[in-house]
Structure 1
Amino acid sequence: MIPGPCALHPNDRGRLAEQTRAHYGEDWSAFYSGFLDKVGALLDAHSAYLLPGSGSAGLEAAIRNQFAPGQTVVVPDTGFFGARLAEIATALGLRVRVVEQSLGQPVDVDQLDQHLSGADGLACVHVESTTGIRHPIREMAQRARARGLVVVVDGVASAGSEVVQLRAAGIDAFVSASQKGLGGPPGLAVVAFDDLGAERAARAHPRSWYFDLGRWARSRAEDIWEPHPVTMPTAVVRALAESVGRITATGIESWVDGRRRLAAQLRGGLSGLGFETFAPENAAANMITVVAGSGARELVARAARGGIMVAGGLEPLSSAARIGLVGATANSEHVTALLDTLSASR
């Protein structure tokens, strides 16, 4: 029960076991384009892309296609992945304005607003895996867009577990990955744009061949035989499509509500056993529950003795424990099994 990569549903494992299929041809092109439309609808996006690579590759693609070197971007310091976002932006030649904040609280939107003046964009994490805190990206995006800023969101730990609405929230670019809340195997980055973000990406022409998403858009629009400029891992795409299909068949609101109730069950059970969860209740993420305090390392050890893997912490909470509710183990039976294991091994 780690925060990713997730355990796969049997149907998804079945896709991986099939003979390799070609990444071109009319059948593949129709399937692939239809799947991208479903991903875009899931995120309330104008358009979506799948890139072979990690979520970090997706973040680089989004930043390259929304900003130019020398522009200034504001990045709240939310934890390990907030710091990584700042590192990526710096590596791509942006001027990064890091906003320090309390690690144990969601971003203070009023405080953030004071740092937006004179900037070109805001890059922020939706759910910070370090802390298990869900940050108020809708309110943050609205403040930023009111000032004319571009908004890029790291949603690697939120897509599929939180409701994400790019166009409704005013988010220019949103990035996730296949192996967490979307329930697929690792290997694909998901990059999505709202209308303004898509227009900006079409004009961007970044200094990269691979991450020039205008190239990817042209391939999809103009090549009915091969709708992407590189070889795609077709088995991974098909497995992810199976998982996303279950989400869309349920409906994203109902799916996320189930995740919300499951996370509440986990937090309540941990509290009853004397463990201290880190995130405040009103900002606790659905996908990741972080346990801090003196009992965190013991929790990891107890779970391991019962045959359950729980992740350790990330800097600056390296002594914490991180429990993931993703994929095939995100259900009440597995949560109950974990709580029973922790209780029995006291």
Structure 2
Amino acid sequence: MDKLLLHVGPTTIKEDILIAGLENNVGFTSKEFVDAFSYSLKGLRYVMGVSKNYQPFITPGGGTSAMESVTSLLKNGDKVLVVSNGVFGDRWEQIFKRYPVKVKVLRPSPGSYVTPEEVEEEVQKDNYKMVTLTHVETSTGVREPIKDIARRIRDKVELIVVDGVSSVGAEEVKAEEWGIDVYLTASQKALGAPAGLSLLVLSPKALEVLNSEESIAGYYLNLRNWLPVMRSTEEGKAMYFSTPPVHVIMQLAEAFRLIEKEGIENRIKRHSIVASAIRTGIEALGLEIVAKRPESYSNTVTGVVLKVVEPSKVLSETINEGVEFAPGVHPAFKYFRIGHMGWVTPNDAIVAISVIERTLKRLGEPIRFGEGVKAVQEYLSSAR
């Protein structure tokens, strides 16, 4: 039986993208690879909403390595404010505590988000070099109002850094217009490519800071070491620092080609429709969503709270029905997560709610059986 992957990453990958990685005898100096890498760097600017003033980076790793590479912009004793809405926002603190910087963390109640007013109030209390934000918190599905926060604190801190691992490619991202210095993501989520790549864009201000020799960063994740490779490759000339994941980058290039073909605005709208349809179905069943405030609902992740049934039992049953969801990772909730990002379609929303309905009824979770799929169909029939 074919499986529908509605996990929070990796996500379903289109066949054309998978096939792009099957080409044999391709070295990192091969023209086909250099062309794919150069195209991908330009594609990254496109999804991040930045001009050539911003420098893109595509390096081996994932979301966490992209986060840790941000230490390239810090020096001994710098103060960092971490704005965290959950498990992956907390990861910033875990990373920075390994380095000689001072870290302060702002947290909301579970399922909520730190408000722009709270962030603005905190940055006025101290001289922070950097503020880190998480656009969509993967553990809760909570979306932070990045644009509003950036507007409030832009002139009060040197560097604004955004983790867009679960947002880029599915949520509105206009890093340059909003004044964000670093926007980062990974290849395996809303971009719909295989796992294995860290992706970042840096503002002119961030590039100035990167030139400092006082950086506390190590060697492999030091963006200063990767910068000449990015600039040379974008110009069509291969350059070596460390062997890149050749075939994954070729697959990423195909993903960017398909994203451009769809159009980023259309892609964001599609994600919004699918996400809204799924949440409409969940709420029609009488189930609670982890994100407490509707304005913070994301286009990519929905956490579903259970009253009776163990989430692990739900996941094992639904995978037998042909749909794979994600386990919950936030300790405050008894829940599972639906990932709706990448190449998801409205039909996937119907399948997801149908499988959840049948499974929960069979396992004894109190729901309004039959109302979920009906609500999704009604929503989709009027969605544009």
Give me the TM-score of the superposition, normalised by structure 2: 0.84
Q: 2:186 matched to which residue of 1? A: 177
Q: Partners of 1:182 and 1:269 in 2: how far apart?
A: 25
Q: Which of 340, 348, 353 is matched with 1:325 structurally?
A: 340
- Conserved? CA contact 1:121–1:144, under 8 Å: no
Q: Which of 229, 237, 240 is matched with 2:241 structurally?
A: 229
Deviates most, 98-107 or 133-142: 98-107
Structure-2 change in CA distance of 1:204 and 1:263 (3 Å): farther
Q: Which of 246, 251, 257 is matched with 2:263 structurally?
A: 251
Q: 1:292-333: CA deviations, max 9, x gaps? A: 2415726435423412111111122452111001334x1122
Q: 2:112 matched to which residue of 1? A: 105
Q: 1:117-167: CA deviations, max 9, x gaps? A: 322210111100111011011122222222133111111111111111111
Structure-2 change in CA distance of 1:261 and 1:204 (3 Å): farther
**Larger CA Rg, structure 1 vs 2:** 2
1:123-134 equivalences in 2 (<5 Å): 123-134=132-143
- Conserved? CA contact 1:23–1:226, under 8 Å: yes
Structure-2 change in CA distance of 1:99 and 1:26 (3 Å): same
Structure-2 change in CA distance of 1:304 and 1:31 (3 Å): closer
Q: Partners of 1:228 and 1:114 in 2: how far apart?
A: 45
Where 1:146 maps in the other structure, the secondary structure is coil
The answer to whether structure 1 residue 209 and structure 2 residue 223 are counterparts is no
Q: CA deviation at 1:10?
A: 0.8
Letter in 2 for 1:247: I
Q: CA deviation at 1:53?
A: 0.7
The answer to whether structure 1 residue 313 and structure 2 residue 331 are counterparts is no
Q: CA deviation at 1:259?
A: 0.3
Structure-2 change in CA distance of 1:11 and 1:149 (3 Å): same
Deviates most, 201-210 or 76-85: 201-210
Give me the TM-score of the superposition, normalised by structure 1: 0.93
Q: CA deviation at 1:84?
A: 0.6
Q: 1:68 matched to which residue of 2? A: 75
- Conserved? CA contact 1:29–1:227, under 8 Å: no
Q: CA deviation at 1:104?
A: 2.2
The answer to whether structure 1 residue 81 and structure 2 residue 93 are counterparts is no
Letter in 2 for 1:43: M
The answer to whether structure 1 residue 291 and structure 2 residue 304 are counterparts is yes
The answer to whether structure 1 residue 28 and structure 2 residue 42 are counterparts is no
Deviates most, 38-47 or 72-81: 38-47
Structure-2 change in CA distance of 1:219 and 1:239 (3 Å): closer
Residue identity over aligned pairs, in percent, reads 25
Deviates most, 213-222 or 1-10: 213-222
Where 2:139 maps in the other structure, the secondary structure is coil
Where 1:31 maps in the other structure, the secondary structure is helix
Structure-2 change in CA distance of 1:30 and 1:103 (3 Å): same
Letter in 2 for 1:116: V
Where 2:67 maps in the other structure, the secondary structure is helix
Q: Which of 38, 47, 50 is matched with 1:42 structurally?
A: 47
- Conserved? CA contact 2:40–2:252, under 8 Å: no
Q: Partners of 1:134 and 1:203 in 2: how far apart?
A: 33
Where 2:21 maps in the other structure, the secondary structure is helix
Structure-2 change in CA distance of 1:307 and 1:222 (3 Å): closer
The answer to whether structure 1 residue 51 and structure 2 residue 59 are counterparts is yes
Where 1:65 maps in the other structure, the secondary structure is helix
Deviates most, 147-156 or 172-181: 147-156
Q: 2:206 matched to which residue of 1? A: 197
- Conserved? CA contact 1:122–1:144, under 8 Å: no
- Conserved? CA contact 1:85–1:124, under 8 Å: no
Q: CA deviation at 1:193?
A: 1.1
Structure-2 change in CA distance of 1:315 and 1:340 (3 Å): closer
Structure-2 change in CA distance of 1:211 and 1:342 (3 Å): closer
Count of equivalent residues:
344
Where 1:32 maps in the other structure, the secondary structure is helix
Q: Partners of 1:171 and 1:165 in 2: how far apart?
A: 8
Q: Partners of 1:78 and 1:228 in 2: how far apart?
A: 38
- Conserved? CA contact 1:123–1:152, under 8 Å: yes
Letter in 1 for 2:229: S
Q: 2:151 matched to which residue of 1? A: 142
Q: Which of 11, 20, 33 is matched with 2:16 structurally?
A: 11
Q: CA deviation at 1:340?
A: 1.5
Q: Which runs of 5+ in 2 are unaligned?
A: 1-5, 362-384
Structure-2 change in CA distance of 1:14 and 1:56 (3 Å): same
Q: Partners of 2:114 and 2:285 in 1: how far apart?
A: 29
